Amino acid sequence: MLNKSEQQQLKRAKRQLGVGIAVLGSTIIIGTTGYMVLEGWSLLDSLYMTIISVTTTGFQEVHMLSDSTRVFTILLIVIGVGSIAYTGGRGVQVLFETQLFGRVNMSKIIGELKEHFIVCGYGKMGKYICEELTEKEQPFVVVENDPEKVESLSELGYLFVRGDATSDDTLTEAGVEKARGLVAVLATDADNVFTTLSAKALNQKIFVVARAVEEETEPKLLKAGANRVVKPYETAGTKMAELLLRPGVIDFIDVVARDKKVDLNIEEVRLSDASRFINKTLAESKLRQDLNIMIVTITKPDGRLIYNPQSTSVLEVGDRLIALGERANLVRLSKLATGE
């Protein structure tokens, strides 16, 4: 949203543009009427003469003019040229201020973000990632350099930074130092490696997921600091094989992950030191009783994984819980996990 001063400035420019258009329109109407009255011309001839006069086109006069009509034409040219210049100037001002205020306002919003995600590359995969983040109501910023894709981002109302994702300055503008995670799905593996390297250099704690098309790129991405590497062909092939072998299992996972008609989801939450669950057992937390949530796994800060934890399992700061339950209850769990 624009601030009050910017809104008033833009409103004033639009009002001035409206006045210019009104004056120009009135000039054309008066000019056309004047030629019809003074010379008795037809509507088309009068309109044509008015247009070539106010635009100073320089075409030959439609008919010979009397002295009084020549004086009228001179006044028409002066007023017409002035109104066109004024209207054009106000139009450029409105366009410039709309774009300028839009960019400044977007930069301001991005600068205030915390714990958001950065999507580097708005190709086919980037588009799906953005749609998923939007569906989950997660804040994110897209980094893209292609003019056509930038226009699409603007039309969709996404926050974006136009620039090279491998550049430290661009990532800084996208708020990488305060971001929670980054996904690198750029056109080439080399760009994904450089983006991962730059992101980790600017924020060592950021969680980076990167795409690797070529097999030999995965170790490079891991060395660059990627926390997870996704190989699309391998992932798709594995899922197709699983569909052949265990279709029921995959259908259940897809329902939980994607089917919006089923009020069931799986979520990962991290316990902060402000959570009321700290140093309590699962039984004492009453997650099952109060929220009807099932804790599938607990990952301890040291990386130890506890599958199907017992009711006596103690919850600690930094624990990551994989929970299964209704969406609304999972949202409540996320807030309780952070102490909100």
The answer, yes or no, to whether residue 2 has pLDDT greater than 50, is: no
Q: Is residue 252 part of a domain?
A: no
Same domain, 87 and 120: no
Kindly report, residue by residue over 162-185, the tens digit of the pLDDT.
899 999 999 999 999 999 999 999
Domain boundary among 110, 125, 157: 110
Residue type, 167: S
> What's the whole-number mean pLDDT along residues 274-303?
89
Torsion of CA 113, 118, 122, 127, to 10 degrees: -80
* In a shared domain, residues 15 and 48: yes
Q: Check pLDDT > 60 for residue 127.
A: yes
11: in domain? yes
* Residues 126 and 225 occupy one common structural domain: yes
Mean pLDDT for 207-219 is: 93
Q: What percent of the chain shows pLDDT beyond 90?
A: 33
Whether the predicted pLDDT of 99 surpasses 70: no
pLDDT value for 189: 95
**Between 87 and 164, where is the model more confident?**
164
Answer yes or no: is pLDDT of 97 > 80.
Answer: no
Q: Percent of the chain, pLDDT > 70?
A: 90
Select from 230, 251, 279 the last residue of a domain: 230
Q: How far is CA 31 from the centre of its chain?
A: 48
Q: 246 in helix, strand or coil?
A: coil
Return all residues near 218 (Cβ < 8 A) that are at least 6 apart: 212, 229, 231
Residue 326 has pLDDT above 90, yes or no: no
Handedness of CA 248, 250, 252, 258 (dihedral sign): negative
Q: Which residues pair with 298 in a beta bridge?
A: 306, 321
Q: Are residues 106 and 133 located together in one domain of the fold? A: no
CA dist., res. 321 & res. 319, Å (int):
6
Interstrand relation of 294-299 and 305-307 (parallel, antiparallel or unpaired): antiparallel
CATH code, domain with 158: 3.40.50.720
Q: Do 104 and 180 belong together in one domain?
A: no
DSSP alpha helix (H) spans, 40-146: 43-54, 67-112, 124-135
- Return the structure tokens found at 21: 């258009």
Domain carrying residue 286: 263-338
Q: Are residues 17 and 78 in the same domain?
A: yes
Q: What is the mean pLDDT of the chain?
A: 85
Number of domains in the chain: 3
pTM of the model: 0.61
Q: Which of 88, 110, 132 is the last residue of a domain?
A: 110
Contact 283, 315 (CB under 8 A): no
